[in-house]
Amino acid sequence: MTLTTLSGIALPSNRSLVYGYGINDVFEKNFSKTVCYKKWADLVRRCCQPRYKEKYPMYKDCTIDPTWLYASAFKEWIETWDDYESKAIDKDIKIPGNTHYSPETCLMVTQKINGWFKPTDIVGSHGDLSLPRGVSEKSGKYRAQVNIVNGPKAKHLGFFQTPEEASVVYDKARKEQILVLMEEESDPRVKNALLQYTI
């Protein structure tokens, strides 16, 4: 089968679709061994492969921009980011709750920033998503903790009678830590996206 890319380039028949959808239309030597290719292929798998979505249901609603089904388009975008090899692609810092991967919705962020936008980012919650972010229950009271950007441990913020009270204290402390993340970030696209979480 001959595949034709967006740019009209015909792919050789020995190139198969990546995870049934992706088209590797980059003809650089050993491209399939690069970090760029691996990030692209993983993204195609995450958004398109039913078996992967079943195994990782957090991606069941994720979609990918049609242009990014072409490796060349993804490569062009990712190469606008400094040190992208060591960064993670993020879809929902810029637009909270977003499930669509595209040039307009995604950022490349450091692992430190990426970790701050997981569903839970405190030590004490043990992944309990029934409580607000940063809040855990202990002995009938609600404990607020916040991770410190450049610290080894979470900071204890106090015990409260309700999860709502604990959440208010946590949110204030988290905004302060996100300001620290912004100070360490050099890319204006990421800094602008983080700004909304400090207001």
The pLDDT tens digits of the residues spanning 142-198 come to 999 998 888 877 899 999 999 999 999 999 999 999 999 999 999 999 999 999 999
Nearest to 64 by CA among 47, 42, 41: 47
Do 159 and 183 share a domain, yes or no?
yes
**Whole-number Å distance between alpha carbons of 7 and 70:** 10
With CA atoms as reference, report the closest residue to 74 among 53, 113, 46: 46
Separation of alpha carbons 144 and 165, rounded Å: 9
Closest CA to 39 of 54, 17, 55, 24: 24
* C-alpha span between 49 and 4 (Å, rounded): 22
Choose one of 109, 133, 163: the last residue of a domain: 109
In tens, the pLDDT along 91-148 reads 999 999 999 999 999 999 999 999 888 755 544 445 566 788 889 888 889 999 998 8
> Are 62 and 135 contained in the same domain?
no
- What total of structural domains would you count in the chain? 2
Looking at the structure, do residues 83 and 4 belong to the same domain, yes or no?
yes
- Give me the domain span that covers residue 131: 111-199
94 and 160, same domain (yes or no): no
Confidence of residue 5 (pLDDT cuts 50, 70, 90): low
Tell me, yes or no, whether 2 and 67 share the same domain. Answer: yes
Which of 109, 127, 151 terminates a domain? The answer is: 109
Cα separation, 149 vs 143, in Å, equals 19
Q: Are residues 97 and 46 in the same domain?
A: yes
One domain for residues 3 and 90: yes
Specify the residue for token string 């239309």: 25
Tokens linked to 51: 């078996």
- 175 and 117, same structural domain? yes
Q: Is 100 helix (H, G, I), strand (E, B) or coil?
A: strand
| pLDDT, tens digit (0-9, with 9 covering 90-100), for 55-86 | 999 899 999 999 999 999 999 999 999 999 99
**Residues 91, 116 within the same domain:** no
* Non-local CB neighbours of 16 within 8 Å, separated by 6+ positions: none
Q: Cβ(10)–Cβ(4) under 8 Å?
A: yes
β 63-64/141-147 pair status: unpaired
Distances from the Cα of 31 to the Cαs of 35, 38, 193, in angstroms?
9, 9, 31
- 172 shares its domain with 93: no
**What CATH code is carried by the domain that includes residue 186?**
3.30.730.10
Last residue of a domain, one of 109, 134, 167: 109
The amino acid that residue 64 corresponds to is I
Residues 104 and 115 in one domain: no
| pTM exceeds cut of 0.95 | no
Question: Is residue 78 located within the same domain as residue 36?
Answer: yes
